[in-house]
Amino acid sequence: MNKRFYIETYGCQMNEYDSEILAGILLEHDYILSDSPENADVILLNTCSVRDHAEQKIHSRLGELKHFKDKNPALKLGVVGCMAQNMKKDLLESKPYVNLILGPDSYRNILRHLDSDQTQTIDTRLSKFEVYDGLFPARKEGINAWISIMRGCNKFCSYCIVPYTRGRERSRSIAGIVDEAQRSVDKGFVEITLLGQNVNSYDHDGKRFPALLEALTAVKGIKRIRYTSPHPQDVDETLMKVHAGYKPLIANHIHLPLQAGSDAVLKAMNRTYTQSHYLKLTDMIRKYVPDMGITTDIIVGFPGETDADFRETLRVMNSVKYDSAFTFKYSPRPYTKAWDMEDNVSENEKAARLTELIRLQKKHTLENYRNLIGKDVEILVEAPSKRDPNEFKGRTACNKITVFPAGVYRPKDLVKRTVTDAQGITLFSRP
Ligand code: SAH
Ligand code: SF4
Ligand code: F3S
């Protein structure tokens, strides 16, 4: 008889992709997907460790799921992903009802572990080679297919746990990636987003990221190519020339994490660039692709960040004028270099800096969106808008949500419209 499995995914898009890989393996072997934990034979939580809060969420979710285990002792409860890798046996000791701990490089072994008679299993060996080539992820139908092109991170930013949970960088072959892209498009996806912890550190036998992007433009029927997240250190003119040469098939959007604006903090973070390098880079990007939408990640309250340091972050924001920013309060993580530094910016101060930063970002977002009024944009039509059933929504190549009256186009159409208004984070447009 078929067994039912249920997966819940936390954290970044890499985890979304990995859950699709896991689902792909299970669906090939007598398992069927369940959309709720009720009555499932296997429950998997694909977890994140990037901030303490992410782990706390999993602890409380596991507490909630325990009663399924009480009702059905045969149920297998698995924790996979970064927190599994981070906590290993500590998690089994504190949560004895958890059966399986599987790190991000061990997913090929899942069937063997689920079949085993052991009540508790740990498999968290990191691999130098695993890229899950040859496995086809089970994706939900839709517009965009995520494709992981490299795994791991060698950068060791001093605040970040990812190099410890994901291991070292390794890349898939161009041929394997192009094949997965073509198969996704043949299945009805029209957009692909390339994924990697440092997507542009891609290196397979000396073939680098710009060459991969260029190869993907030949995929038949593909309407849009995106990628995330690049590291500023590996963004160069070659990449921008490919962007400019294949616009808008290669979407004019780049997510370029800044993290901090002050040189002292950047150095302590081991980010490998200075403020002036970063600003030269964004100038170079806009020289090649003037309408590039630039978004970012920023951390406030890194150990030792003074108010003057924080002002430097605002300075970079005022200079680059990001379309949007993911903003975080620094959270100390085990194993990292910063773990040994005193977390000496108070919670109040972190909160105040975050509020100021978010306020400034909102202003820039609205300015940038308003600057598009009167401009023509290319929109990939997605689905009916949640707010208003009479409206459809789509995304511009520069990655902004746009709404327009329903019934004009169908999902997956690529259409040209002129922006007429901007409110909050939504654009309005006419044909
Ligand atoms: N590899 C990606 C980011 C991965 S983590 C990159 O380098 O761009 C996503 C974001 O979480 C990071 O960009 C950073 O802004 C934030 N982050 C990572 N570790 C953090 C920590 N210890 N505290 C707060 N934010 C953190
Ligand atoms: Fe973390 Fe830095 Fe690697 Fe990104 S580049 S995953 S922030 S260590
Ligand atoms: Fe979280 Fe792991 Fe992604 S720590 S952000 S799920 S790589």
Q: Which CATH architecture has domain 285-371?
A: 2-Layer Sandwich (3.30)
Residues 120-137: tens digit of each pLDDT: 999 999 999 999 999 989
At 56 the pLDDT is: 97
- Per residue in 244-257, pLDDT tens? 999 999 999 999 99
Closest CA to 59 of 47, 41, 75: 47
What mean pLDDT is predicted for residues 311-333?
A: 98
Range among 90-94, 314-318, 380-384 with highest mean pLDDT value = 314-318
- Name the closest-CA residue to atom 5, ligand 1: 50
Q: Which CATH number fits domain 130-251: 3.30.750.210, 3.40.50.720, 3.30.9.80, 3.40.50.620?
A: 3.30.750.210
pLDDT tens-digit readout, 63-81: 999 999 999 999 999 999 9
281 lines ligand 3 (CB under 6 A): no
Residue 172 clears pLDDT 80, i.e. is over it: yes
Q: What is the pTM of this model?
A: 0.96
The share of the chain scoring above pLDDT 70, in percent, equals 100
CB neighbours of residue 7 within 10 Å: 21
Helix, strand or coil for residue 137?
coil
| Average pLDDT over all residues of the chain | 96
Where does residue 384 rank: exposed (0-12), middle (13-18), buried (19+ CB within 10 A)? middle
pLDDT of residue 1: 76
90: three-class secondary structure by DSSP: helix
pLDDT digits (tens, 9 = 90+) for 102-120: 999 999 999 999 999 899 9
pLDDT digits (tens, 9 = 90+) for 13-58: 999 999 999 999 999 998 999 999 998 999 999 999 999 999 999 9
How many CB atoms are located within 10 Å of the residue 315 CB? 14
Which residue ranges make up each domain of the chain? 4-123, 130-251, 285-371, 376-428
Q: What distance in angstroms lies between residue 82's CA and the mean position of ligand 3's atoms?
A: 6
Per CATH, 4-123 and 285-371 having the same topology is answered no
Q: Which fold has domain 4-123?
A: Rossmann fold (3.40.50)
Asked if 161 and 82 count as a contact pair (C-beta separation under 8 A), the reply is: yes
Distance 10 CA to ligand 3 centre (A): 8
- Which value, to the nearest 10 degrees, does the dihedral of the CA atoms of residues 79, 85, 90, 94 take? -20
Cis peptide before 60, with omega less than 30 degrees from 0? Answer: no
- Closest atom, ligand 2, to C-alpha of 50: 1
Please report which confidence band the pLDDT of residue 408 belongs to, taking 50, 70 and 90 as the band edges. Answer: confident
